[in-house]
Amino acid sequence: MSRLRNAAAASVVLLAVTTVPAHADRPAPSKDAVATGTGGAVVTVDPDATDAGLVMLRRGGNAFDAAVAASAALGVTEPYSGGIGGGGFLVAYVADLDEVIVIDGREEAPHDPAFDENVFVDNTADFTDAVNSGLSVGTPGTVATWQAALDAYGTKPLAQVLQPAITLAQRGFVVDETFAAQTRANLDRFRQVATTADLFLDDGEVPAVGSILRNPDLADTYRQLARGGVDAFYAGPIADDIVATVQDPQTTAGAADSWQPGLLTTDDLASYEVRRPEATTSTFLGYEIAGMPPPSSGGIAVGEILNILEHEDDLASLSPVEFEHRFLEASALAFADRNAYVADDRFVDVPQTGLLSEAFAGERWSLVDPLRAADKPVAPGDPCPHDDGPCTPAAGATSGASGSTTHLVTADAAGNVVSYTFTIEQTGGSALTVPGRGFILNNELTDFNRDGDSPNLAAPGKRPRSSMSPTIVLEDGEPIVAVGSPGGATIITTVAGILTHRLGRDASLPDAIAAPRAAPLNIPVVPAEPAYRSTFGEPLQALGHAFSDVAQIGAATGIELLGDGRMLGAAEPERRGGGHAAVLRPDRRS
């Protein structure tokens, strides 16, 4: 058994979060933040979705079947964070192949030449105006991702895998505090779109906590996908309805926002394909870190942060403040490089080899002063001398991005492991619900930079840069940890923080996930949770760091393989209402 597995086995702590709302038509399902056992594991932010994944495992399905089932259920219970109106990235270890594979199901810009680098500047007043518009909607990739994963690696057909989600959408789910809060935050714009208000609001107001929200339209859409597969989404009536919604947003009388029409066409949907690039790989303290390549910046940025920190002689021996200072500085440097170099590599030359090289990490580490924070933003470095392809040094730093997503992890007894992050971009996406279909469309194209010197400017057919960081850690070629998180640009620092605490600081996976967080995105004032500021704020401010308050950062889920067929699933104990981890055959609790 590895040293990591020994540490994990010795530090398992069982946590539970149970919510029974008042006036519920039925009790809300309980949540367990940690579970250990054998046979397979599923971890999501929602117990209904976790249960959907477990249903597949009980029926003899594998980790891929469970991941698709759980993500379809999250489209019901987490419709503001993910669903078939969006896209995402899947990283998996395939036991039969003994290799890590990735599926790029990122949303794609329309192929219309008018969707150029000036499209948002010329047609929308600001970022918010761009979000609330058809222009923000890219071709969704989630359904194509599901089909590709099942066709290549699953054991069940899509029709069977969708059944738990169909039942859930028809029966409904219990509205909890998190769902109500997310609805409240979007109330003004949801009221401007009749289809969205009809589905998610109760007479124009936030549905009561404890009430049941049913989505028969989504159940029917899922049934159509069960019958027709991927073609039922990307061609025919569903595709027609998506395009009509984008090109002519149906808003209520007196809508405050302009709701500009978009450029998406049925040809864009019909031509959409998932991509199958190679995973990014780097090493950290002897472990192999496998992540998502462009157009995600997650694999590169997480890898670079870990590469920089690996130059510290002994991470485990640092005091908590010393470690956090180095983490903040390394993250800012990696973000400068991410912003300057990473975008859709079909359109720009991304120096991935150079950015993930040990030599470049050493150059960046040399800029970390152990006694003083650098002024932010820091400038990007020059990875070109360490790269093996076309590379142009960056002109300067560019800004990051924000958003919300959801993440799940699954594993099975055969050794397959899936880490899957998917999204409709910010919470509530574009706020445009496709009439009669039960799902909200993404605002993913606002992930393009609006202007400036950036590789991530809009272009026809381009996929916007993402921060999604589904990650799998391997030791001696075998998977041992899978992790990921929602949270826009903060995903990168959340995942890197969990990995450094788990792999480099001897924390258990549950403790690494629960640890207080900051989001050092190479900006002068770092967003930080209250627990982070109360624990580290004063000594880090003395080193030159500045912080702003943010209620919570991320909502991570992870699985650790403990050896001998045992698995540990870990979710957030509190963030976003807490997540839910479950295993097929739980250990007997003491």
Confidence of residue 403 (pLDDT cuts 50, 70, 90): low
- pLDDT tens digits, residue range 134-156? 999 999 999 999 999 999 999 99
Is the pLDDT reported for residue 524 higher than 70? Answer: yes
The DSSP letter of residue 457 is B
Of 334, 347, 375, 363, which is closest to residue 492 (Cα–Cα)?
Answer: 334
Predicted local distance difference test score (pLDDT) of residue 4: 54
Predicted local distance difference test score (pLDDT) of residue 400: 47
User: What is the residue whose two structure tokens read 């058809």?
Assistant: 134
Predicted local distance difference test score (pLDDT) of residue 306: 98
- 23 against 354, higher pLDDT: 354
Which residues lie closer than 8 Å to 186 by C-beta, 6 or more apart? 80, 427, 428, 431
Predicted local distance difference test score (pLDDT) of residue 401: 46
The mean pLDDT value for 201-205 works out to: 95
Give the whole-angstrom CA distance, residue 492 versus residue 490.
5
Predicted local distance difference test score (pLDDT) of residue 394: 85
Predicted local distance difference test score (pLDDT) of residue 588: 81
Which residues lie closer than 8 Å to 32 by C-beta, 6 or more apart? 14, 15, 16, 17, 580, 581, 582
Indicate left, alpha or beta for 383 from its phi (over 0: left) and psi (-120 to 50: alpha). alpha
CB 95 within 8 A of CB 416: yes
Give the whole-angstrom CA distance, residue 31 versus residue 577.
9
Which residues lie closer than 8 Å to 254 by C-beta, 6 or more apart? none
Q: What is the mean pLDDT of the chain?
A: 93
Is the pLDDT reported for residue 398 higher than 80? Answer: no
CB 95 within 8 A of CB 414: yes
The mean pLDDT value for 520-535 works out to: 97
The mean pLDDT value for 346-352 works out to: 97
Give the whole-angstrom CA distance, residue 238 versus residue 24.
34
Predicted local distance difference test score (pLDDT) of residue 404: 61
Predicted local distance difference test score (pLDDT) of residue 5: 46
The mean pLDDT value for 504-516 works out to: 97
Confidence of residue 7 (pLDDT cuts 50, 70, 90): very low
Predicted local distance difference test score (pLDDT) of residue 284: 98
Predicted local distance difference test score (pLDDT) of residue 3: 46
CB 444 within 8 A of CB 425: yes
Is the pLDDT reported for residue 568 higher than 80? Answer: yes
Which residues lie closer than 8 Å to 295 by C-beta, 6 or more apart? 104, 106, 343, 344, 345, 463, 464, 465, 466
The mean pLDDT value for 429-458 works out to: 95
Hey, what domains does the chain have and what are their CATH numbers? 3-275+401-586 (3.60.20.40)
Q: Which residues are catalytic?
A: 405
The mean pLDDT value for 120-135 works out to: 93
Which residues lie closer than 8 Å to 302 by C-beta, 6 or more apart? 289, 291, 469, 471, 492, 495, 496, 499
Predicted local distance difference test score (pLDDT) of residue 149: 98
Predicted local distance difference test score (pLDDT) of residue 11: 40
For a pLDDT cut of 70, what percent of the chain falls above it? 94
CA distances from residue 234 to 139, 304, 331 in whole angstroms, order as listed:
9, 37, 39
Phi, psi dihedrals of residue 392, rounded to the nearest 5°: -120, 125
Three-state DSSP state, 418 = strand
H or E element that contains 89: strand 87-94
The mean pLDDT value for 5-15 works out to: 40
Is the pLDDT reported for residue 491 higher than 80? Answer: yes
The mean pLDDT value for 279-283 works out to: 98
The mean pLDDT value for 167-181 works out to: 96
Is the pLDDT reported for residue 338 higher than 90? Answer: yes
Of 46, 66, 140, 45, which is closest to residue 439 (Cα–Cα)?
Answer: 140
